[in-house]
Structure 1
């Protein structure tokens, strides 16, 4: 078996990210616990392959224990919306960057939560038992020589580390939230614009968002899954991709990355706005001159995009 070189170029990381579920050579669909191989062919072409195709690698950069993504990736053409006040829209254009908020600063105090506090005892016992068994049954070639009390002490420490790691991860995780829908949403206008007379909605797509962020393999983009936390938990790797059922109306797609250095409550991430913004809609309660104002600021920052009145102002007949 080749020694891993850990030479991970952006091109190789991007290939593995975009083809996460499949071997790029034979299209084999990976299953959990399979090994995926990242490396380079004889002509130094990046490859992301299965065990069967790993012989094609002249160089193995790294091997991974394959795990399915903790989120569902939308279709490339899925429509995504971001509703905001005009001042935030102006700030977006001025900075040329998308704002990602730190997870522990969200109004929803359950952001990144694994479950309800009153159900934590069951969670703790599950992981304590898992840690006990892992300590008692080390990898082949090693023996456990710890006493029962030492095993318990180590298991309890691992549980404490797991909990403190969850709290710390909230301060390392940065999120940009979008609403997935084929149509404009009256409810989203009211929920996400503090002054609805002076608000806009950006419409993009999954592919445009991914491309505008530079096809960055460090930024994950996927759908939130809404769960009943009275009966279920979010897994260790799932917490930022699970929310309570009471938020289901949001139909959220989010972009997430981790930053271990940033201490700020949010982070501006460079973004190609002419790729990101496919169309801008103005609030259904905006005055008639507001479309001209949005067009003016778009011209100022060389944003070539259609600005449309809200679809909700169409007149009915009876």
Structure 2
């Protein structure tokens, strides 16, 4: 195999992102610690392969140890919902982009946290041992010449850097939150639109969200995992994909991007709205004229999409219960026929 060129292009990053964990040549499923190889074949097509298939690489580009994602990727047709008030919807259309909130601006003070403060010593001990082991056992070809005391000092320094960088990291991570469900959620209307009469919900799918964001491999999209912080903690790379069990009802799928330059409380990421928005629903509390207004705004910004009333605003019907007065003094055969009909 030829020498690595290290030309890690967007094309290769996308190849790795979309096929993460599976060799595109033989279908081998990577295990943690396996080597993943990226590059180009004889026809200049990008490849993401295991060690056994590196013979297919005419131009090896980069080699890295495989590590599982800290989140699960939804199925392509998984339905995602974003609930918002009408003004935010207009902002979405006018900016032609999705707003990503900086994570230190969320109301949840545990956003990006590793665990409960009372359990911090246990977390510190785990990573102190990890750092000591890593320092004493460097990669092949290297030798650790540090004393035991120097190893512990360096491990403590790394641990301190992790802690000081944790809070700062929240200012570099930006998130767009979505709710995963096959149906509308009454709870989400209440939580994220305050059940306002002028609220709307945008429905899309994972595939549409990913495509609308330009299949950008720098934007991670996946399910949040809800954990019991009394019993466990989030790993170094997991924190922004973990939330407390008390938020489990949100069934959140988030799009996450890192930006070391943006100092604002959020950022707008360009998005193809024609691909993103599959249907718009208006609030169950909405007056009849809101649908017309949403359609007018869509037309103004060139968005052709179906606008529907909320399923929660459907009108029920009622009948008297069996045994009520409508069956009094009625022939027995009529009651028997009704019972057969209900079976």
Query: Is residue 177 of structure 1 aligned with residue 192 of structure 2?
Result: no
* Correspondence for 1:9: 9
Shift of 1:145: 3.1
Deviation for aligned residue 1:141: 4.0
Shift of 1:142: 3.7
Which runs of no fewer than 5 residues in structure 1 stay unpaired?
Answer: none
Match of 1:225 in 2: 225
Aligned to 1:167: 167
Tell me, in whole angstroms, the C-alpha distance in 1 between the residues paired with 2:12 and 2:44. Answer: 11
Separation in 2, partners of 1:188, 1:306: 21
Q: Which residue of 1 aligns with 2:271?
A: 271
> What residue number does 1:93 align with?
93
Deviates more, 1:13-22 or 1:280-289: 13-22
TM-score by length of 2: 0.90
Alignment partners' CA distance in 1, 2:182 and 2:8:
38
1:14-62 Cα shifts (integer Å, max 9, x gaps): 1111111211111111111111100001121111111111110011110
**Larger Rg belongs to:** 2
CA contact (8 A) 1:17 1:217 kept: yes
The structure-2 alpha-carbon separation of the partners of 1:140 and 1:63, relative to structure 1 and needing over 3 Å to count, comes to: closer
2:39 equivalent in structure 1: 39
Match of 1:308 in 2: 308
Q: CA deviation at 1:2?
A: 3.3
Q: CA separation in 2, counterparts of 1:287 and 1:195?
A: 13
- In the alignment, the residues of structure 2 paired with residue 148 and residue 33 of structure 1 have an alpha-carbon distance, to the nearest angstrom, of 27
Q: Go from structure 1 to structure 2 and tell me whether the alpha carbon gap of 1:8 and 1:169 turns closer, same or farther (over 3 Å shift).
A: same
Q: Distance in 2 between matches of 1:155 and 1:14?
A: 35
Indicate the RMSD between aligned Cα atoms, in angstroms: 1.2
The runs of at least 4 consecutive aligned structure 1 residues that moved more than 6 Å come to none
Task: Report the Cα offset of residue 85 of structure 1.
Answer: 0.4
| TM-score, reference length from structure 1 | 0.97
Matches of 2:144 and 2:26 in 1, distance apart? 42
SS of the aligned residue for 1:43 comes to coil
* 8 Å contact kept, 2:37–2:60: yes
- Counterpart of 2:137? 137
**Structure 2 residue ranges without an equivalent (≥5):** 319-343
What CA distance in whole angstroms lies between the structure 2 residues aligned with 1:291 and 1:169? 41
